[in-house]
């Protein structure tokens, strides 16, 4: 096991950009929403830079890009509802696991670590995605961006999960791809691990100064 896991009991993972490459499906849902609203259609690469703060912020960023100004509340509500409908209809059509995710989670689970999923994605999408990839049984606790009053980069979701599992933050690790994951982990007193291949608003994740930067998830179990 990687040295960062020494003395740890809980490993919390982000979802989008860390375990799954979900941008293709998210982009389709955004594009269909903009088509419904007769707005300019963004490219997938643009949507990638907007991901990470939950569905409402994703759509607000997309609308701001399309309008070249901040959208009003009525439009934000209509766009969010349309996005949720489109994404909910096919959250796994194009989404894929990143290499090594399945074997890494298997190894960590079998080694006795408690695994948690802490994502800013709406909670209703967690089970369909995890079930699709046969990952549900690996996680002792899952929490979405709308499960609590605050989401990452707030430390609240991480502290909530640690409390629910009765594990000290000092015995916990946050693994993610974005500055929000690292900020939340640091504020919660978790050790932080970053992967460089996900969605971090076009910024190198090393700028967020995680405790450890790994090239891919299997590095957690290969030492």
Measured CA to CA in angstroms, residue 105 lies from 73, 129, 211 at distances of 41, 15, 20
Is residue 211 part of an annotated ligand binding site? no
Instruction: Tell whether residue 146 is among the known ligand binding residues.
Output: no
Residue of 14, 21, 25, 181 marked active site: 14
198: tokens are: 């996900």
Question: What is the rounded CA–CA span in Å between residue 58 and residue 89?
Answer: 18
72 assigned to a ligand binding site: no
97: number of Cβ within 10 Å = 15
DSSP for the chain reads: --GGGTT--EEEE--BTTTEE-HHHHHHHHHHHHHHTT-PPPPHHHHHHH-SS-HHHHHHHHHHHHHTSPPPHHHHHHHHHHHHHHHHH-TTSS-EEPTTHHHHHHHHHHTT-EEEEE-SS-GGGHHHHHHHTT-GGG-SEEE-TTSSS--TTSSHHHHHHHHHTT--GGGEEEEESSHHHHHHHHHHT-EEEE-SSS-STTS-GGGG--SEE-SSTTHHHH-
Active site includes 14?
A: yes
Residues annotated as catalytic are: 14
Tell me the binding residues for Mg(2+).
14, 16, 177
Q: Mark the binding-site residues, compressed into ranges.
A: 14, 16, 177
């Amino acid at each position: 096991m990687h040295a960062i896991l020494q003395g740890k009991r809980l490993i919390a993972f982000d979802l989008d950009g860390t375990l799954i490459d979900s941008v293709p499906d998210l982009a389709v849902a955004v594009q269909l929403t903009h088509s419904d609203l007769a707005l300019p259609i963004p490219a997938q690469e643009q949507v990638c830079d907007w991901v990470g703060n939950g569905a409402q912020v994703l759509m607000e960023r997309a609308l701001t890009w399309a309008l070249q100004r901040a959208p009003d509340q009525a439009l934000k509500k209509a766009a969010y509802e349309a996005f949720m409908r489109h994404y909910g209809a096919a959250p796994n059509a194009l989404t894929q696991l990143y290499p090594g995710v399945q074997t890494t989670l298997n190894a960590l689970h079998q080694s006795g670590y408690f695994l948690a999923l802490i994502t800013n994605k709406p909670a209703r999408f967690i089970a369909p995605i995890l079930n699709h990839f046969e990952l549900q049984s690996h996680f002792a606790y899952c929490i979405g961006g709308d499960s609590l009053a605050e989401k990452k980069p707030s430390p609240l979701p991480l502290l909530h999960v640690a409390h629910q599992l009765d594990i000290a933050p000092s015995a916990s690790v946050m693994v993610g791809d974005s500055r929000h994951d690292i900020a939340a982990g640091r504020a919660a007193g978790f050790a932080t691990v970053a992967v460089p291949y996900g969605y971090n608003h076009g910024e190198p994740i090393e700028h967020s100064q995680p405790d450890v930067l790994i090239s891919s998830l299997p590095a957690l179990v290969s030492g």
